[in-house]
Amino acid sequence: MPITCRKLLSLSFLDRKISLSGGSEGLDRVIRWFHAIEGVEEIQFLQNNELVLMTGISIGSDDKKILAMLKGIYEKHGAGLIINTGRYIHNIPQDVIDYANMVKIPVFSVPWDIKLGNMTRKIGELILAERSKYKNVQGLVKKMLFSDTGTGEKIFDTALFDDHKLQGVKQVMLVEFKTNQLDCIDEPEEKLSVLFQEITAEYGQPCFFTWNGNEAAFIIGEYSKSRQFPSALHEKLFNRFSLNVFIGIGGSYQDFSDMRKSHKEAHFALNIAKKSSDRTYVAYKDTNIFRLFYYIDDAVFIKNYYEEVLGDLLRYDKKNSSEFTRTLEIYLEENEDAAATIKRLFIHRNTLTYRLKRIEEITGCRMDDSETRLNFRIAFKMKTFLNFIQ
C-alpha cells in the first residue's frame, strides 16, 4: 500500500505521539516525498504530494504566516503538514485548523522531543521501500496481462504482499487517455500514478496497475456499483488534470490466470465506452446483446445478417433520400411509443403513421408481428456493434 497521511498516525517510531489537528478528509493523500520548510517563501520549491515538516524556527507563533504556509501547500498540491510544537509554535491556530478542514489538507502536531531529522529519515526509508514494492507489482501486472510466456497464478502470487487483499473475485479495468492529452502534463505518469494510489486507497482497492502506451491497466476487486470507484476515478482525473478518459471494465474471475480474458473483455467494453457519450465507463457485464455478437467473432456474418434484414429499406432510403430506416430505428428505441418517436423526430403524428405503413410495404413485414420487431431490433444492434468494432 502507498504511504499516505493516514499511515503517519500508526508509525511505531513516532510512539503514537503524533496527533491530527485538522484536514481528516485528506488522510488518503499519498506522500510522494517530504520537504523541510521553515519560511513561506520556500513553498515555491514544493512538489506535488510532498509532505511538509516545520519547527517554526523562522515563523514562530505568527498565526498569519502559519496559515500562509498551509495555503501555499494547498496551492502546490502538497500532501500535508507536520508541525513540531512546543518550542517555537506552542499550539496550532484555529484558523489553520479550519482552513485544513476546508481544503482537506491534513495538519499534524508532534511534540518537541520528536526530532524531525529522525522522522524524515525513517519516513524516507518507508517511501523508498514502498516504491520498490510498487515497481515490482507493476512489473508483475504487466507480465500477467501482456507477456507471451503464459504467466499463471502461481507466479503472480508473489505480488500478494501482506497488505494487498485481492484473493477473491477480480477483474481488469482499463483507463484510456485521449491522444496527446498526457503531453499537457509535466511528468504525467508520475503524477497520475500518485492519483491512482490515492483513489485506490480511498476506495479500499489494491493499487495493482501498469502503463501500456496511453492506457493504464488495473487489476481490481470485483466491481460494485454501490462504491462507484470507476466514476470517482473519472471525476478526479477531470477535476485534477482536466482529463476526459474512457474506462472499460472486463468480466470477473477468481483466478489470476483468467485476467487476460478479462483484459480482452475490458478492451471490448472500452470500445463501446468510446461510442457512448452519456456514460463515464462501460462494464463488460452491462454490454448485453453485444457480448453475444462479440463471441460470434464473425463480422462478415453480422454484416450480412444486418443487410439481409434491413437491406430493402436501406436501398430505398439511399435511392429516394428518405428517412424510413432512421424512423424505424427511433420507433423501436422508444419501445413503439408514437408520442416519444414524434418528439425525437420532430414530425407530425400523421407523418409517422404514413412512414410506418411504407416501411411495411418496402420490407414486406408487418409491424404488429412481435418476431418482426425483434428481428429489426437485433439488426439495428448489429449495426451499432459493427460501428464499435470498426
- Give the other-Cβ count within 10 Å of 183's Cβ: 7
Confidence (pLDDT) at 79: 93
Q: What percent of the chain has pLDDT over 70?
A: 92
Asked if residue 333 and residue 202 are part of one domain, the reply reads: no
Asked if residue 268 and residue 201 are part of one domain, the reply reads: yes
CA pair distance 325, 312, nearest whole angstrom: 10
Asked if residue 135 and residue 155 are part of one domain, the reply reads: yes
- Full strand arrangement of the beta sheet holding 282-283: 208-212, 215-221, 170-177, 245-249, 282-283
CA pair distance 229, 225, nearest whole angstrom: 8
Among 94-98, 256-260, 272-276, name the one with the lowest average pLDDT. 272-276
Asked if residue 306 and residue 268 are part of one domain, the reply reads: no
Confidence (pLDDT) at 162: 41
What confidence tens digit (pLDDT) does each residue in 311-347 have? 999 999 999 999 999 999 999 999 999 999 999 999 9
Confidence (pLDDT) at 180: 80
pLDDT-derived band at 205 (thresholds 50, 70, 90) equals: confident
Dihedral angle computed from the Cα positions of residues 11, 12, 18 and 19, in that order, rounded to the nearest 10 degrees? 70
Pick from 41, 38, 125, 42: which is nearest to 83 by CA? Answer: 38
Q: Which residue has the higher pLDDT, 181 or 125?
A: 125
Asked if residue 202 and residue 323 are part of one domain, the reply reads: no
Decide if 123 is inside a domain: no
Confidence (pLDDT) at 293: 79
Asked if residue 356 and residue 252 are part of one domain, the reply reads: no
Strand 19-22 relative to strand 33-36, pairing: unpaired
In this predicted structure, the answer to whether residue 225 has a pLDDT above a threshold of 70 is no
Q: How much is the mean pLDDT over the chain?
A: 86
CA pair distance 153, 167, nearest whole angstrom: 11
CA pair distance 91, 97, nearest whole angstrom: 11
Confidence (pLDDT) at 226: 46
Averaged pLDDT, 101-119: 90
Decide if 120 is inside a domain: no
Q: Is 161 helix (H, G, I), strand (E, B) or coil?
A: coil
- Give the other-Cβ count within 10 Å of 188's Cβ: 17
Domain stops at, among 221, 255, 287: 287
Domain stops at, among 114, 138, 156: 114
According to DSSP, residue 335 is labeled: T
Cell of 87: 518550542
What confidence tens digit (pLDDT) does each residue in 128-163 have? 988 887 788 788 888 888 876 554 445 555 444 444
Confidence (pLDDT) at 201: 79
Asked if residue 103 and residue 161 are part of one domain, the reply reads: no
Domain count, the chain: 3
Averaged pLDDT, 223-249: 84
Pick from 119, 101, 103, 107: which is nearest to 34 by CA? Answer: 119
Asked if residue 251 and residue 140 are part of one domain, the reply reads: yes
DSSP calls for 166-215: --S-EEEEEEEEPTTGGGGSSSHHHHHHHHHHHHHHHTT---EEEEETTE
Asked if residue 371 and residue 241 are part of one domain, the reply reads: no
Asked if residue 353 and residue 244 are part of one domain, the reply reads: no
Among 74-83, 265-274, 288-297, name the one with the lowest average pLDDT. 288-297
Asked if residue 229 and residue 161 are part of one domain, the reply reads: yes
Spatial contact of 123 and 51, defined as CB atoms under 8 Å apart: yes
**Domain housing 186:** 130-287
What confidence tens digit (pLDDT) does each residue in 45-86 have? 898 899 999 998 888 888 899 999 999 999 999 999 999 998
In this predicted structure, the answer to whether residue 166 has a pLDDT above a threshold of 70 is no
Asked if residue 109 and residue 23 are part of one domain, the reply reads: yes
